[in-house]
Structures are given as structure tokens and as C-alpha cells.
A = this chain, B = another copy of it.
Amino acid sequence: MKFSRKYTLSEIAALANADFEGPANFEVTGINEIHMVEKGDITFVDHPKYYDKALNSAATTIIINKRVDCPAGKTLLFCDAPFDVYNNLVKHFVKFVPASQKISPNSKIGNSTVIQPGVFVGENVIIGENCLIHPQVTIYDNTIIGNDVIIHAGTVIGSDAFYYKKKPAGYDKMISCGRVIIENQVEIGALCTIDKGVSGDTVIGHGSKLDNQVHIGHDTVIGKNCLFAAQVGVAGVVTIEDDVILWGQVGVQKDLTIGKGAVILGKSGVSKSLAGGKVYFGAPVEEARDKWKELALIRKLPSIIEELRSNP
């Protein structure tokens, strides 16, 4: 996420209660977890295994738990618990304010948009024109919805990322500060869940259609004119290109890509990135024609074994 104004390194260090290395007036413009960093961003690292990755990333201010040398053109914030400091900065910049009413007056709702009864709209939400939001929908803070969007009853847009850090005493929650962006002409079925990005955006691309009970994880980006049938689940940080079709109850693991125009048949489990333009099936998924051959062979196995046993 980007801050609403520029900060200096010394301001950030004061907020973080951390020592800093670098020019006190060094510009800091945002905060992101390591996969989403850009110039001007703060990020954090707390395990020696990832020091190099963080120090060499696009981020220009790194919260770190060791007094390493500062790379050229970058700045450091030193502390014992970088994860906690990162979380505290996020909480400072994206304050959660309990809602005092069902639809925040800070949110903007476009002309000809219908909001049915029982809908919750958080802070700083933007909803475009000519949308139809059915009853009991929940739209968390900072969500952006385009024009001509339909969202069916009970759907939840912008819930937190499922993202925890294991510590000896249990799991620590990574505070999500990203958003959900829903582009024009998207339709989302009833009782779907679309998580916000951890620090970036979860995107549902122009014209894509989701059936009921679909789950989309944090920071996942879905292209244009995709079709997801009921009870599909897509984990976090997945890229799904344009015109992809996922049939019912398909599951997609995190951190992978499904290429343009791929079709995944119902109940498949996608555990690796898939090239576009092909049809897939199975859990774990394979090209459908290979899977069909495999299933046919298994059905013929008893007679094949008999043949082999009787042919000495």
C-alpha cells in the first residue's frame, strides 16, 4: 500500500521506535510485504535466510533484526522484532475504526446503484454506477468496485488474508492492509468470500463471473472474462489470466499461474502452474486427455494382469 502522503525516514523511525541508518529525510512512500515491494516502500525481514532477498528487493527501507551493512541507496530500521514493528506500522497507517452505521458516510456510491437492505459498507469504499448489491453483503474498508457490478446476497468482500507467522507460543496474525478491486461488469454469486491483499490488491478482472460460494484468497489477480463455477476455491497470490474457466469445486493452490483460456474440469486440484489454452482434470491436475487415458488403463488393469499372468 502507498501512504496518503510522503514520510521521512526519521518520522517512520520514530513511529517504529527503531534506530535507523540512512538520511533522516529519506523519502518513504509506502509499506509492503516482500512480494509486492516497490521503490519508496518499507518491508521487513527477520530470518537470516531471507536477509539478502529483502536487502536486494525493490524496497528502499528494510526493517531488520541485525546490524547489517546498508546497501547503496537504501535505508535500514533496526529492531528485535521486525514482524511486530511492521504490523504496528500497518496498524498506524490503516487504522481500524469500529463502524457506527451500516454504510459509512466516507464511502462513495455511484449513480443508479442499488444497495439492498442489510448491506454493510465500510470506510473509504468506492462503488461505481449501475451496480446491484443484494441483501446482507459485507464490503470491508477500502474496497473499490467498478460499474455494472452485481453482488449476490451474503457475499463478503475484503476480509483479512489468512496469513500467520508461526511463533513458539502459536500463530501471530499478519495485519492486512491491502484492498479488493472489482472491475466493471463483474458478477459475484451468493455467499462468496474475497480476501483483501496483505499489502497489495486482490483483483477480479473486467467481466469475470463467479458462481455461489466461491473463495478467492489474498493478493490473487484474476483476469478478464473468467468463469468460476460454484464452490471453487483459489488460494492467495495466484495469477489467473483472461478467459480461464474453473468448473465446480476446483481448488487452486497458492503462488501459481493459470494461463489464458485454460479450462479446469470440476473437482480438480491445481498444484502447479498451468499453460493456457488446454483442458485439465484431476487431483493433482493433469491434462484431461492424459487423465482420461490413465483412468481407462486402470479400468483395464485386471484383464491386463490376467493376460500377462497367462502368457508365459
Contacts and interface: CB of A to CB of B under 8 A. Distances in A.
Given A102-B118, A120-B153, A191-B191, A251 B235 contact: no
B249 A249 contact: yes
A230 B225 contact: no
A87 interface: no
A180 to B, nearest CB: 12
Interface string A109-149: 00000101110100000000000101110101000000000
Contacts of A154: 136, 138, 154, 156, 191
Nearest to A292: B284
A288 to B, nearest CB: 11
Contacts of A170: 185, 206-207, 224-225
Interface core residue of A98, A231, A295 (most chain B CB under 10 Å): A231
A206 B283 CA distance: 32
Interface string A277-312: 000000110000000001101110110110011011
A229 interface: yes
A267 B248 contact: no
A294 B267 CA distance: 20
A109 to B, nearest CB: 13
Contacts of A248: 233, 235, 251, 253
Q: How many copies of the polypeptide does the oligomer hold? A: 3
A187 interface: yes
A80 B140 CA distance: 43
Interface in A219-256: 224-225, 227, 229-231, 233, 235, 248-249, 251, 253
A309 B154 CA distance: 59
Given A230-B235, A235-B230, A162 B209 contact: yes
Contact of A308 (B118, B159, B212, B308): B308
A191 to B, nearest CB: 5
A229 B159 contact: no
Contacts of A150: 160, 173
B294 A298 contact: yes
Contacts of A249: 233, 249, 251, 269
A171 B215 contact: no
A82 interface: no
A57 interface: no
Contacts of A169: 207
Given A249-B251, A253-B266, A283-B267, A190 B159 contact: yes
Interface of A: 96, 98-99, 101-102, 114, 116-118, 120, 132, 134-136, 138, 140, 150, 152-154, 156, 159-160, 162, 164, 169-171, 173, 185, 187, 189-191, 193, 195, 206-207, 209, 211-213, 215, 217, 224-225, 227, 229-231, 233, 235, 248-249, 251, 253, 266-267, 269, 271, 283-284, 294-295, 297-299, 301-302, 304-305, 308-309, 311-312
Listed from nearest, the 3 A-B pairs whose CB atoms lie closest are A138-B153, A120-B135, A170-B207
